[in-house]
Amino acid sequence: MTATLIDGKAFAAGLRERIAGHTAAMKERGITPGLAVVLVGEDPASQVYVRSKGKQTRETGMNSFEHRLPTDTPEAELLALIEQLNEDPSVNGILVQLPLPGHMDEAAVINAIRPEKDVDGFHILNVGRLATGQKSMVPCTPLGSLMLLRDHLGSLSGKSAVVIGRSNIVGKPMAQLLLRDSATVTIAHSRTQNLPDLCRGADILVAAVGRPHFVKGDWIKPGATVIDVGINRTDDGLVGDVDFAAASQVAGAITPVPGGVGPMTIACLLANTLTATARANGLPDPEGLTP
């Protein structure tokens, strides 16, 4: 392997330590940040995520409120809970774990969250604010990926970036953040033609596809920085969207899976909760936690 390993696990641990420090300082002023996580149904992956979110929230010194609702909960009941959390001053962040059961309108549920408490950054107002360069809540996985890129590269200005994937959760907000840092951004997706050639021009390559080892080693520009967002469960365990063994012979730097972007996501959720708490109390944004 010739590429530098971008150690998201270590970076996330450092980030959580800084967040814990900020939280302790807030508590001395009588403010305890609180994050409410709502899980509807029994999806096993969601249960794992919700458990680790709660654990890490408490470890950072924040209050964690967990709400579990059965799969057949009427949407109106979920909306009523969100309204109650919107009004609760001890709750600074609200996260509704996705995916929701099929009978619910995901967009309506997300848009019921008060934008200031929308720590996932999926509310239509936060999406619009990010797109227009205003202060917003920024989706956690792209925010974590941006932090790793900046830490490794410093300035992203003028760099050619290719994002593979156009989801609202990863691809689109990732592209917005790269654009905001003055990279020249291309978004690729399932209908993109000549994807390998497109990737070969990228100084920064972000893969958010959801297909194991989709990006091959010979798609990588020598020296490029590769961020692998993919989390794919296979018989060989968790693997990313990038063929790591081949790509790491060509790239300048690359995130591993696991241990790359994954741990950054929850750390950034805590960062967003802290930022939301600061804003709710008229305090400046804690340094280094927002783009």
Whether the CB-CB separation of 182 and 149 falls below 8 Å is answered with: no
Q: Which stretch binds ligand NAD (CB under 6 A): 58-66, 83-91, 183-191, 269-277?
A: 183-191
Pick 135 or 189: Cβ nearer ligand NAD: 189
27 counts as catalytic = no
Tell whether residue 110 is among the known ligand binding residues: no
Task: Single out the catalytic residue among 118, 120, 181, 228.
Answer: 120
Beta bridge partner(s), residue 253:
4, 225
Kindly state the helix (H) or strand (E) to which residue 95 belongs, with its residue range. strand 93-96
Task: Single out the catalytic residue among 97, 172, 203, 243.
Answer: 97
120 counts as catalytic = yes
Q: Using CB under 6 A, count the residues that bind ligand NAD.
A: 23
166, 180, 216, 279: residue in contact with ligand NAD (rule CB under 6 A): 166
Nearest-angstrom CA–CA distance, 264 and 124: 23
47, 184, 232, 290: residue in contact with ligand NAD (rule CB under 6 A): 232
189, 201, 223, 249: residue in contact with ligand NAD (rule CB under 6 A): 189
Whether the CB-CB separation of 57 and 270 falls below 8 Å is answered with: yes
Residue nearest to ligand NAD (CB): 167
Residue 164 C-beta: closest distance to ligand NAD, Å: 5
56 counts as catalytic = no
- Is residue 68 close enough to count as binding ligand NAD by CB under 6 A? no
231, 254, 268, 269: residue in contact with ligand NAD (rule CB under 6 A): 231
Radius of gyration of the chain measured on its C-alpha atoms: 19
- Provide the residue type at 76 as one letter: A
- Is residue 47 close enough to count as binding ligand NAD by CB under 6 A? no
Alpha-carbon distances of 33 from 83, 93, 242, rounded to whole Å:
19, 8, 37
Chain Cα centroid distance, residue 81 = 24
Whether the CB-CB separation of 223 and 186 falls below 8 Å is answered with: no
- Is residue 173 close enough to count as binding ligand NAD by CB under 6 A? no
Q: Which stretch binds ligand NAD (CB under 6 A): 61-69, 82-90, 94-102, 260-268?
A: 260-268
Compute φ and ψ for 242, nearest 5 degrees.
-110, 140
Nearest-angstrom CA–CA distance, 46 and 52: 10
Neighbour tally for 285: CB within 10 Å: 13
Binding positions for ligand NAD, rule: CB under 6 A: 141, 164-167, 169-171, 188-190, 192, 195, 208-210, 229-232, 261-262, 265
